[in-house]
Amino acid sequence: MEIKVLGPGCPKCKTLEKTTRDAVAELGLDATITKVDDIMEILGYGVASSPALVVDGKVVLKGRLPSSKEIKELLTK
Protein backbone atom coordinates (compact mmCIF):
# COMPACT_ATOMS: atom_id res chain seq x y z
CA MET A 1 0.00 0.00 0.00
CA GLU A 2 1.29 3.44 -0.91
CA ILE A 3 0.02 6.37 1.15
CA LYS A 4 0.73 10.03 0.49
CA VAL A 5 -0.08 12.91 2.80
CA LEU A 6 -0.48 16.06 0.72
CA GLY A 7 0.05 19.45 2.29
CA PRO A 8 2.47 22.38 2.44
CA GLY A 9 3.50 21.76 6.05
CA CYS A 10 0.72 23.42 8.03
CA PRO A 11 -0.14 22.10 11.51
CA LYS A 12 -3.15 20.16 10.15
CA CYS A 13 -0.93 18.52 7.53
CA LYS A 14 1.57 17.45 10.19
CA THR A 15 -1.23 16.11 12.38
CA LEU A 16 -2.67 14.10 9.47
CA GLU A 17 0.76 12.60 8.76
CA LYS A 18 1.26 11.60 12.41
CA THR A 19 -2.27 10.20 12.77
CA THR A 20 -1.87 8.23 9.53
CA ARG A 21 1.47 6.79 10.64
CA ASP A 22 -0.05 5.81 13.99
CA ALA A 23 -3.06 4.18 12.27
CA VAL A 24 -0.82 2.18 9.92
CA ALA A 25 1.24 0.96 12.88
CA GLU A 26 -1.85 0.04 14.93
CA LEU A 27 -3.36 -1.87 12.01
CA GLY A 28 -0.07 -3.57 11.20
CA LEU A 29 -0.30 -2.60 7.53
CA ASP A 30 2.55 -2.97 5.07
CA ALA A 31 2.53 0.59 3.77
CA THR A 32 4.89 3.25 2.53
CA ILE A 33 3.97 6.73 3.76
CA THR A 34 5.27 9.79 1.95
CA LYS A 35 4.74 13.46 2.82
CA VAL A 36 4.24 15.58 -0.30
CA ASP A 37 4.72 19.31 0.11
CA ASP A 38 5.39 20.33 -3.50
CA ILE A 39 2.45 22.53 -4.55
CA MET A 40 2.61 21.47 -8.22
CA GLU A 41 2.52 17.78 -7.28
CA ILE A 42 -0.39 18.41 -4.90
CA LEU A 43 -2.30 20.25 -7.63
CA GLY A 44 -1.59 17.29 -9.95
CA TYR A 45 -3.91 15.25 -7.74
CA GLY A 46 -6.67 17.84 -8.21
CA VAL A 47 -6.39 18.93 -4.59
CA ALA A 48 -6.92 22.64 -3.92
CA SER A 49 -7.42 22.46 -0.15
CA SER A 50 -5.13 20.64 2.21
CA PRO A 51 -4.51 18.40 3.95
CA ALA A 52 -5.30 15.46 1.71
CA LEU A 53 -4.73 11.73 1.86
CA VAL A 54 -3.93 9.59 -1.18
CA VAL A 55 -4.06 5.79 -0.96
CA ASP A 56 -2.66 3.78 -3.88
CA GLY A 57 -2.98 6.78 -6.22
CA LYS A 58 -6.56 7.67 -5.27
CA VAL A 59 -7.48 10.78 -3.26
CA VAL A 60 -9.60 9.43 -0.38
CA LEU A 61 -9.82 12.59 1.72
CA LYS A 62 -9.16 16.30 1.26
CA GLY A 63 -9.63 19.62 2.95
CA ARG A 64 -10.16 18.41 6.52
CA LEU A 65 -8.61 16.54 9.41
CA PRO A 66 -10.27 13.15 10.02
CA SER A 67 -10.40 11.19 13.26
CA SER A 68 -8.05 8.28 13.82
CA LYS A 69 -11.02 5.92 13.48
CA GLU A 70 -11.92 7.40 10.07
CA ILE A 71 -8.35 7.04 8.83
CA LYS A 72 -8.35 3.37 9.86
CA GLU A 73 -11.63 2.86 7.98
CA LEU A 74 -10.19 4.50 4.86
CA LEU A 75 -7.09 2.32 5.01
CA THR A 76 -8.97 -0.97 5.46
CA LYS A 77 -11.54 -0.54 2.69
Q: Which residues are catalytic?
A: 10, 13
Environment class of 50 (CB within 10 Å of its CB; exposed 0-12, middle 13-18, buried 19+): buried
In this structure, are residues 47 and 59 in contact, taking their beta carbons and an 8 Å threshold? yes
Residues for the chain: how many in total? Answer: 77
